[in-house]
Amino acid sequence: MSPTEIHQRLQDQHGDAITAFEADALDPFVLIKSDSIVEVCRFLHDDPDLAFDCLTNMSGVDFLKEDYIQVVLHLYSYTHRHAIVVKANVSREEPSMPSVEAVWKAANWLEREIYDLLGVVFTGHSDLRRLLMPEDWVGHPLRKDFVEPEEYHGISTRRESLLK
């Protein structure tokens, strides 16, 4: 299926959840409402004509000026060998959206990573802890307005340049 056909199929089933579609992008994507991500993903996964059985990648992007965080899911179907990108926006103040861990098990760590680095809370996630940063780390480093702490457990994060 081409991305346009995939979008059309989605539009027929979950038309009210889709807010935008871009077919000319390098990775054609569908922008959906974050609240309905589980229903849309469940459909993408279960529908025999779509059969997106592989969550290739899941990541987040912080748009500081536009004031939202975008969660990006790269999907691939090994059955039909087609791909689509699903995007969903959440607010920067209270970033929260349902977890798709029940659809793709691989989302477990990917969502933990997004939570760790961007602070998006995935409701319904089985084990939402930090993945990469230390457990007691304060803040989410991939936020554009993140300020690096002066020290961590007495270890200074500043170092004088040796060239001065």
Q: Which residues of the shown chain bind other proteins in the complex (CB under 8 A)?
A: 132-134, 141, 146, 148, 152-153, 155-157, 159, 162
State how far the Cα of 22 lies from the Cα of 161, in Å rounded to an integer. Answer: 46
Residue 34 burial (C-beta neighbours within 10 Å; 0-12, 13-18, 19+): buried
**Measured on CA atoms in the order 149, 151, 155, 157, is the torsion positive or negative?**
positive
State how far the Cα of 105 lies from the Cα of 20, in Å rounded to an integer. Answer: 27
| Contacts of 43 by beta carbon, 8 Å cutoff, 6+ apart | 10, 13, 14, 50
Q: How far is the CB of 120 from other proteins (least distance, A)?
A: 18
Query: Nearer Cβ to other proteins, position 15 or 134?
Result: 134
Q: How far is the CB of 161 from other proteins (least distance, A)?
A: 10
Q: How far is the CB of 153 from other proteins (least distance, A)?
A: 6
Q: How far is the CB of 158 from other proteins (least distance, A)?
A: 8
State how far the Cα of 129 lies from the Cα of 113, in Å rounded to an integer. Answer: 9
Query: Nearer Cβ to other proteins, position 26 or 155?
Result: 155
Query: Nearer Cβ to other proteins, position 1 or 142?
Result: 142
In single-letter form, the type of residue at position 153 comes to: H
Task: Look up residue 81 and give its two tokens.
Answer: 């060998």
Query: Nearer Cβ to other proteins, position 23 or 132?
Result: 132
